[in-house]
Amino acid sequence: MKLPKVFKPDFDYKLSRIGSKHDGGYLIENSSIEKAEFLISFGISTNWDFEKEFINYKDINFLAFDGSIDEIFWKKNEKIAYEKLLRLSFIRYFKFKLIKKSFHQFFNKNNLITKYISKTLENSMNLLDVLNICKYKNNLFFKIDIEGSEYEILDDLIQYQEKIIGLAIEFHECNKNFKKIISFIKKFNLKLVHVHANNYDNNTEYKIPNTLEISFSRDPIPIKKFSGLPHKLDSPNRARNKEIKLSFYE
């Protein structure tokens, strides 16, 4: 699939894969990790591999935000897992138990706020609310995967971009919001260092991938001329689906 040249990185940069092998993993430019002083993560659900690996890579504090993983969430999913157990599906039940245990070992009231990041949803906060909570004024790294609400905060990211050292963001419904994404890339002063097409969607009906994962860095270090995508560290979000190859046009 082809994207406009605005999506094309200027160079190949030194990247690291942070997070899951498939969905939930992002390619991040190394200097943005090394210079990060605080991690802010929007969107967790049941996968926090990115957050774990990031703070293992760089020993810093973090805050995560997700309004969907409250006590109601855990009770609902425990009921589903128990019903699976009654049907002798032991793997699903014990997998849920391990996820829940791991969640409560990693998150606590000091690093997780069970609110959405949005200007329209109930039980939500906006970006300025988050920055007011965060003690660090600069060198913030953001990971954003909030299922479409990212478009509500793009202007705020631009407004406070001087505080941001790096950003990994997943854009959803790209075919509907393509002009908004292009406008953001042009106004956002951080360099686009990587783009990856999420292959969970059935993209046959679209001109461009309907979900894109894009990474930015304030001061990326180029290593060679851009050599194309996918990157050697890229991996399909859905393992059984083919990776989507990207090219660029003027």
Per-residue pLDDT of the chain (250 residues; tens, 9 = 90+): 999 999 999 999 999 999 999 999 999 999 999 999 999 999 999 899 999 999 999 999 999 999 999 888 888 878 877 776 667 667 777 888 888 899 999 999 999 999 999 999 999 999 999 999 988 789 999 999 999 999 999 999 999 999 999 999 999 999 999 999 999 999 999 999 999 999 987 777 888 999 999 999 999 999 999 999 999 999 999 998 889 999 999 8
Q: Do 203 and 245 reside in the same domain of the chain? A: yes
143 and 25 Cβ atoms separated by less than 8 Å: no
Q: Indicate whether 102 and 219 sit together in one domain.
A: no
Length of the chain: 250
Residue 190 identity = L
DSSP assignment, residue 233?
Answer: T
Q: From the CA atom positions of the chain, what is the Rg in Å?
A: 18
From 57, 86, 111, the end of a domain falls on 111
Is pTM beyond 0.75? Reply is yes
Q: Would you give the distance in Å from CA 13 to the centre of its chain?
A: 19
Question: Which domain, by its residues, includes 14?
Answer: 2-67+114-249
Q: Residue 32 in 3-state DSSP? A: helix
Indicate whether 105 and 184 sit together in one domain.
no
Q: How many domains does the chain fold into? A: 2
Residues 59 and 163 in one domain: yes
Where is the domain boundary, 59, 84, 111? 111
Give the domain CATH number at 219.
3.40.50
**Where does 174-250 have alpha helices with state H?**
174-187
Of 111, 143, 163, which residue is a domain's last?
A: 111
Residues 79 and 142 reside in one and the same domain: no
Residue 195 and residue 6: Cα distance in Å, rounded? 11
- The answer on 151 and 217 residing in a single domain is yes
The type of residue at 107 is F
Alpha carbon distance 21, 163 (integer Å): 29
**Local structure of residue 245 (DSSP, 8 states):** P
pLDDT at position 229: 94
Q: Yes or no: say if 242 and 201 are a contact pair by the CB < 8 Å rule.
A: no
Does residue 121 share a domain with residue 89?
no
